[in-house]
A and B are shown apart, each in its own frame.
Chain A
Amino acid sequence: MSTAMNFGTKSFRPRAPDKGSFPLDHFGECKTFKETYMRCLKNNRFDNSRCREESKEYLECRMDRQLMAKEPLEKLGFKDLVDDSQKENEAKS
């Protein structure tokens, strides 16, 4: 489909991912986090905005187990969640 050389048709150009490829989770170390996330999606009619906490936790699990390069969560688009948790910590203390 993307190799059809018709004049004028737009073809799709795949792009490499920004941060490369996830190493495979052979031992299922983050499987529980994934199950939590999938359950949250099912409960919320697959709305991504409601399950961002769970996705953040899954990525944190990956980072802890060397299955993902460690990055500050703001760079992964979780800036609002990080700010919220910081505000909660400040409010508590």
Chain B
Amino acid sequence: MLLPYLLRGCSAKYVQVALSSTRFCIGCCSIRGVATSRSHLFLRGIPQRFLNLSRGAKTHRRKQSQEDDWKKRNKTILTYIAAAGVGMIGMSYAAVPLYRLYCQATGLGGAAIAGHDTEQVETMKPIRDRVIKVTFNADTHASMQWNFRPQQSEIYVVPGETALAFYRAKNPTDKPVIGISTYNVVPFDAGQYFNKIQCFCFEEQRLNPHEEVDMPVFFYIDPEFDEDPRMARVDTITLSYTFFEAKEGQRLPIPGYS
């Protein structure tokens, strides 16, 4: 009967020592109080029943209220933890559209920047002191029989100025061939500043047998290229086109609307 009280007394003592490190007098009092009740219990002279009645009632009530306090504290802590868990799950769901908005605003990863407006072409000023060399590359898919090559190996442009470049494609076969092309810009980071006003990509182009055509690309480099610290050491941009053969009735998605 005494043992649970003893144990609770011990644990109470340790808890109070831990909690009241800055409140010495209160801690001392409570420790002394528990210790004296325990030491009294070992005296044979005084009947234990009597001792327990007088001291045990007070400590029992104190311990009962302490237990209630602990239970209440545990409940609040559990509530907080549960709320934090639910909050984390909610944040992970909300992160998807938020991240998309963030990417659009800052243009990370070469994605289309929100606010990339075509009116800029009219008002932009060329930045004369930053000359960039744009090299051209042309590829075809292995099964594509066109002869496709650029007509100039490089062009020196400045940001903010529109430029024109030409590719040439020839169909050496006896059958009309429909081609469709895509492009790539290296370095990838510079790709977000490389704006094409008009080109020949993403739409089907049909070449009759033994026909040769000039394909122009009209582009400019965004003037903000000069202000980006990541582009400070970029001097060369490579534009690379690849032609694939298009099958009849095939519809490809236009990029940029993902």
Q: Which residues of A contact B (CB under 8 A)?
A: 1-2, 10-22, 24-26, 28, 30-31, 34, 37-38, 41, 45-49, 52, 55, 58-59, 68, 74-79
Contacts and interface: CB of A to CB of B under 8 A. Distances in A.
A71 B36 CA distance: 100
Contacts of B185: 12
A11 B110 CA distance: 7
B206 interface: yes
A48 B153 CA distance: 13
Contact of A14 (B122, B183, B200): B183
B231 to A, nearest CB: 13
B184 A48 contact: no
A15 B153 CA distance: 23
Interface in B142-162: 151-158, 161-162
A77 B124 contact: yes
A12 B188 contact: yes
Given A13-B191, A46-B153, 5 more contacts: A10-B108, A13-B109, A15-B256, A17-B201, A75-B121
Contacts of A59: 164, 218
A24 B256 contact: no
A77 B124 CA distance: 8
A32 B27 CA distance: 100
Between A22, A48, A79, the greatest number of chain B beta carbons within 10 A of the residue's beta carbon is seen for A48
A21 to B, nearest CB: 4
A32 to B, nearest CB: 11
Interface residues of B, number: 55
24 contacts: A10-B188, A12-B184, A13-B110, A14-B183, A14-B184, A15-B255, A17-B197, A18-B196, A19-B198, A21-B198, A24-B200, A24-B206, A24-B213, A25-B213, A30-B214, A38-B151, A38-B166, A46-B152, A47-B156, A49-B161, A59-B218, A75-B121, A76-B218, A77-B124
Given A13-B110, A24-B213, A78-B162, A18 B118 contact: yes
Most buried by B among A12, A34, A47, A58: A12
B215 A77 contact: no
Contact of A46 (B108, B155, B188): B155
B92 to A, nearest CB: 18
A41 B109 CA distance: 34
B182 interface: yes
Contacts of A47: 155-156
B77 interface: no
Which of A15, A21, A59, A77 has the most chain B CB atoms closer than 10 A to its own CB? A15
A17 B121 contact: no
Nearest to A68: B198
Contact of A20 (B164, B188, B198, B256): B198
Contacts of B126: 49
Contacts of A15: 112, 195-196, 255-256
B32 to A, nearest CB: 62
A66 B200 CA distance: 16
